[in-house]
Chain A
Amino acid sequence: MRGASIRDQVAIVGVGLTELGMFPEKPSLKLAVEAFKLALDDAGIEKKDVDGLICMSYGSDYDRFLESVGLNVRYAYQGWSHGRFISSTLMQAAYAVFHGEADMVAIVHGKKTYEFGDANNAETHEGWRQGLGPYGDNPAYGAMAPAYGVALSLRRYFELYGRTSRDLAHVAVSLREHARLNPNAFRRGAMTVDDHQNSRWIIDPLKLFDCSQNQEGGAALLITTAERARELKQKPVYIMASEGVHAGPEFHNFAHVGLGVAQQSVFTYQPKDLRIYEKAGIQRSDVDSIAVYDAFSPVIPYALERFGFCGAGEALDFVREGNIGPGGSLPVNTSGGMLSEGHVGGWNLFIEIARQLRGECGPRQVKDAEVIQWANFLGDSIIFRN
């Protein structure tokens, strides 16, 4: 028999996000420490209250971080920095407190451009793994970098559904509209569809404005049990349910299901393989806003179709009609996302979810936000509520 459900038993109780920019004087360790201190202050707790720590594969290791802040913990874990695994990493923290391996887990990440870099995965060996790299990369042909995988899938999407780069432009424009309402966003200048169209090709059909920012910053979150959360300063942000990363030959990093990238089958996807709404006990229509790991703009339409917010091939129409921007029917990445707010390994997206559900977002606040979903094209998802 299955044990007690984790639903509503774990909460985010503190968040910290540093200024976003380029900081030559601050190594990743310093950015992580700054974010950690901000999160402690936000939660109204002290470092001694933290007994679990998660760091990422890029940035400072967990042991160096703990030495720096003079803290011993009974739960340490190091997760992948890759965006497709950060919701699983957050759930590691949730499971740790749910099962009593720790009472308060801090997730900290300091992001430096030279560590996350330009993702030239030929020279980090990632592109040379046996059976091709994580994005189908093959550096011998100059096929490298995450942008390659998404460009390859985007071409298939455009071909199958008769869409163009101009249709896609509305994704980046919508997210910039959010960022313009966020004083901490790295990119806040006005952006039009023409600006997007006039930006240079990175890997055709992917333009510069389809790619996330590559700046620096630190992010931290504090996770504890619902019981403890109710004693603390902030309104708890509860985890209702989660879904893992779907993977295998029918899935491809940076391709929606059914597009025919690498060895994927070609078919019209229907969202029948997901259990997330049933597990959370809600309907999809109960979701007030979603957060997507928007390393590149195409993954937003992929995510909208993956979870059934839009039918196959229809997401860019939904976006063009203004649905994902400020005041839209389903605001996406209300901080401006990685496309405009900035790239802190994606952790800034979880921080925005918490702030929205605490009602702290001022001009960009989603009215009466109660349920926000982390929703990625690979199926990984977490549903949060206040």
Chain B
Amino acid sequence: MANTKLYDESTGRYLPIQYPEEAEYWESAKKHRLVVPKCEDCGHLFYPIGPVCSHCLSLNVGWQQVSGKGRISSYVIFHKAWAEWLKPRVPYAVVQVELDEGPRLTTNLVEAGPEEARVGLEVEAVFETVTDEVTLLQFRPRKPA
């Protein structure tokens, strides 16, 4: 587990615990690439990240880069700050995004106010550098083509 520090006050972020099976995900995020686990035996894409294919139980798990495009399938807006140092951040949106490839991921909505969140909103992946070790996947509204 890479981090011993629980949070970064300067950015108002809790720093994620990075489990060994997630290393490729975090390294890819630093390069602004979104990858999700893929079973090398049966081809199943799955999430959350884990040590085994949730379909065939193969331990031969690799990665696939995905489009980073999807839609908000649910969202909430935090008005309560669950830690003193989160107070400057509220209100903030947490969104559940369904990727075009299927898995649903949880992030914040960025480059938009929380009031812009709605179910069905088309979004795309962007990346937020928090510390040297942590780059977070985020989603922003997709601009009209």
Chain A residues with a Cβ under 8 A of chain B: 118, 120, 122-123, 128, 130-132, 136, 138-145, 147-148, 151-153, 155-156, 159, 200-206, 249, 260-263
The answer to whether A156 and B136 have CB atoms under 8 Å apart is no
The answer to whether A141 and B136 have CB atoms under 8 Å apart is yes
Q: Contact size class for B?
A: 35 or more
Q: How far is the CA of A156 from the CA of B19 in the complex (A)?
A: 30
Chain B residues with a Cβ under 8 A of chain A: 6-7, 13-17, 19, 21, 47-50, 54, 73-80, 82-83, 86, 89, 91-92, 94, 96, 103-104, 106-108, 119, 130, 134, 136
Nearest to B17 among chain A residues (CB) is A128
The answer to whether B82 and A122 have CB atoms under 8 Å apart is yes
19 A-B pairs within 8 Å (CB atoms) are namely: A120-B83, A132-B48, A136-B106, A138-B106, A140-B136, A141-B108, A141-B136, A142-B86, A152-B75, A152-B94, A155-B74, A156-B73, A159-B119, A201-B91, A202-B80, A204-B76, A249-B54, A260-B104, A262-B96
Chain A proximity of B80: nearest CB distance (Å)? 5
The answer to whether B73 and A260 have CB atoms under 8 Å apart is yes
Excluding A120-B83, A123-B6, A152-B76, 16 further A-B contacts by CB distance (< 8 Å) are: A118-B82, A120-B82, A128-B17, A131-B50, A140-B14, A141-B107, A141-B108, A141-B136, A142-B108, A151-B76, A201-B91, A204-B79, A205-B76, A249-B54, A260-B73, A260-B104
Nearest to B136 among chain A residues (CB) is A140
Nearest to A204 among chain B residues (CB) is B77
Q: How far is the CA of A148 from the CA of B21 in the complex (A)?
A: 26
Q: How far is the CA of A152 from the CA of B96 in the complex (A)?
A: 8
Q: How far is the CA of A138 from the CA of B76 in the complex (A)?
A: 13
Q: How far is the CA of A187 from the CA of B82 in the complex (A)?
A: 24
